[in-house]
Structure 1
Amino acid sequence: MNRIIIAAALAIVTMLPAHAQEKMKLRIGTEGAYPPFNYFDSAGNLVGFDIDIANALCEEMNAECTFVTQDWDGIIPALLANKFDAIIASMSMTPARDEIVDFTNKYYNTPPAIAVPKDSPLTDASPESMADIILGAQSSTTHANYAEKIYPDTELRRYGTPEEYKLDLKSGRIDAAIDDSVVLSSWIDSEDGACCKILATLKNDDEIHGPGAGIAVREEDTELKEKLNAAIAAIRANGKYKEINDKHFAFDVYGD
């Protein structure tokens, strides 16, 4: 009798569709140093909005996903070298990047901002006011590119991670910092960022920032891109996106 039961069970398994037997395996590349979007918490867990979105997309696609952390400067080369299959790391879909990788539809879009010490003499973020100061930005980002274009008379100091420019802004080694408005606001609202304030929220430059943050894949991975786009649409429609958004933010980061 046991042999009959085992044989029947094996027959049922073999009749199941392939997707019910094997999950798609997907490696997600992220930076792990960009709070509140992707970072390690005090317990060493990889957390943040990007991570929750990635997990929701993987669940929607019935995919088994693992995360690979990678320094920002090398994240696109690592994707092209097959270190992982997709980048979910708040990457703006710029025209320059679009020539190297392919992007999904956006999954959020927030504007840049400039932060300064609370006792800063700066009253606005015009090019004239910002002339002759030292402005910090993470290297290889749209924010550094924006600063180069908009503030030609400002000394731009590039950093490997946001934590480095935050440290220099707190210690007075730079006069201001430029980054995503959510990143800066989240930091300022924390004990670590109590030194500083938002000077101004800036308008996105379409040529520099593109239409928002998307998921980068290799250009040949069209099927993966289509699956990710379908999953983004699905979590937007079924309420999962809003649930994740509201967990992290008091406003809608998806944008127009």
Structure 2
Amino acid sequence: MRISKYLTLAASAVALTLAVGAAQADSHLKSIKIGTEGAYPPFNNLTSDGKLEGFDIDIANALCEQMNVQCEFVVNDWDGMIPSLIAGKFDAVIASMSITEERKEKVDFSDKYYNSPPAIAVPKDSDITEATDAGLDGKVLGAQSSTTHSNYAEEKLSSADIRLYPTPDEYKLDIANGRVDAVIDDVIVLSEWLKSDDGACCKLLGTLTPDLVINGPGAGIAIRKGEDDLREMFNEAIIAIRDNGKYKEINDSYFEFDVYGE
């Protein structure tokens, strides 16, 4: 009888612990903090009055609505994005972060939510004619630090003098003022910049063939290791907004093609 009583008590305690844990997990998943950079238009950008806008932001809001969760955005410097995620400053990163094996050693990722190739931009009067290592030999090439684009430059375009910047704004300023000869970034980011008054200095030289190891299969949502439920929620929501037309609605408000890719 005593054994049976203890077993019953133990079972009750375990059930209570599991119930509390489940309630806490459920409560957590009803409110999610999302980290983003706010300096990478047209994907994420802070307006002059401090509001976030861009494709990443609209997709994040659509995913949150699909998951029926309340989402709060936290603006964070790109270089500290993964450390801040791991430290618990936010629960997920939606900031055009490419899924790479190097990053997967530290965090988990959802499936991709878009994929676009890198490209090179140069001044309109540039004598650079090829978006190749040979074509950039001895030239100063600007890139945002801690990105797949800077990694690509260092690995594939090493004949150039590579100069790294904390955000794209700095390299854009330097190429406009003649301090760098070329810049590398996502083709969409560069193309949208070149359409603006600030990008009137420059032109697109050409796109680059992505390297799967360096560039990964696309941009995904970064999540702390072990938070499988949250990752699966995002994966299911990505599929759902692709199927119900919400993704296309957002996509078409920014781009003339399906940025999701193959």
TM-score, with length taken from structure 1: 0.91
Q: Secondary structure at the match of 1:177?
A: strand
Work out the CA distance in 1 between the residues paired with 2:135 and 2:192: 25
Q: For each residue in 1:115-150, what CA deviation from the matched residue of structure 2 results, as whole angstroms up to 9, or x when unmatched?
A: 000000011112111100000000000000000111
Q: Secondary structure at the match of 1:172?
A: coil
Work out which of the residue numbers 148, 159, 162 in structure 2 matches 1:153: 159
Work out the CA distance in 1 between the residues paired with 2:58 and 2:41: 13
Work out the CA distance in 2 between the residues paired with 1:29 and 1:236: 22
| Counterpart AA for 1:53 | I
Report the alpha carbon displacement of residue 45 of structure 1 after superposing the two structures with TM.
1.1
Work out which of the residue numbers 207, 217, 225 in structure 2 matches 1:211: 217
Report the alpha carbon displacement of residue 152 of structure 1 after superposing the two structures with TM.
1.6
Work out which of the residue numbers 227, 243, 246 in structure 1 matches 2:252: 246
Report the alpha carbon displacement of residue 42 of structure 1 after superposing the two structures with TM.
3.2
Work out the CA distance in 2 between the residues paired with 1:249 and 1:191: 19
Q: For each residue in 1:172-217, what CA deviation from the matched residue of structure 2 results, as whole angstroms up to 9, or x when unmatched?
A: 0000000000000000011110110000111110010110000000
Q: Secondary structure at the match of 1:174?
A: coil
> Which residue of 2 is the match for residue 65 of structure 1?
71
> Which residue of 1 is the match for residue 141 of structure 2?
135
Work out the CA distance in 2 between the residues paired with 1:45 and 1:228: 24
> Which residue of 2 is the match for residue 125 of structure 1?
131
Work out the CA distance in 1 between the residues paired with 2:178 and 2:103: 33
> Which residue of 2 is the match for residue 94 of structure 1?
100
Mapped pair 1:221 → 2:227? yes
| Counterpart AA for 1:110 | S
* Equivalent residues, number: 237
Work out which of the residue numbers 80, 85, 96 in structure 2 matches 1:79: 85
Report the alpha carbon displacement of residue 43 of structure 1 after superposing the two structures with TM.
3.1
> Which residue of 1 is the match for residue 109 of structure 2?
103
> Which residue of 2 is the match for residue 45 of structure 1?
51
Work out the CA distance in 2 between the residues paired with 1:181 and 1:108: 13
Q: Kindly, what percent of the aligned residue pairs are identical?
A: 62
TM-score, with length taken from structure 2: 0.89
Q: Secondary structure at the match of 2:81?
A: helix
| RMSD of Structure 2 on Structure 1 (CA) | 1.3
> Which residue of 2 is the match for residue 10 of structure 1?
none
> Which residue of 2 is the match for residue 184 of structure 1?
190
Q: Secondary structure at the match of 1:132?
A: coil
> Which residue of 1 is the match for residue 17 of structure 2?
none
Work out the CA distance in 2 between the residues paired with 1:246 and 1:181: 17
Q: For each residue in 1:142-179, what CA deviation from the matched residue of structure 2 results, as whole angstroms up to 9, or x when unmatched?
A: 00000011112110000000000000000000000000
Mapped pair 1:233 → 2:239? yes
Where structure 2 has 5 or more consecutive residues not aligned to the other structure, the ranges are: 1-22
> Which residue of 2 is the match for residue 197 of structure 1?
203
Report the alpha carbon displacement of residue 30 of structure 1 after superposing the two structures with TM.
0.3
Q: For each residue in 1:101-124, what CA deviation from the matched residue of structure 2 results, as whole angstroms up to 9, or x when unmatched?
A: 000000000000000000000111
Work out the CA distance in 1 between the residues paired with 2:158 and 2:146: 17
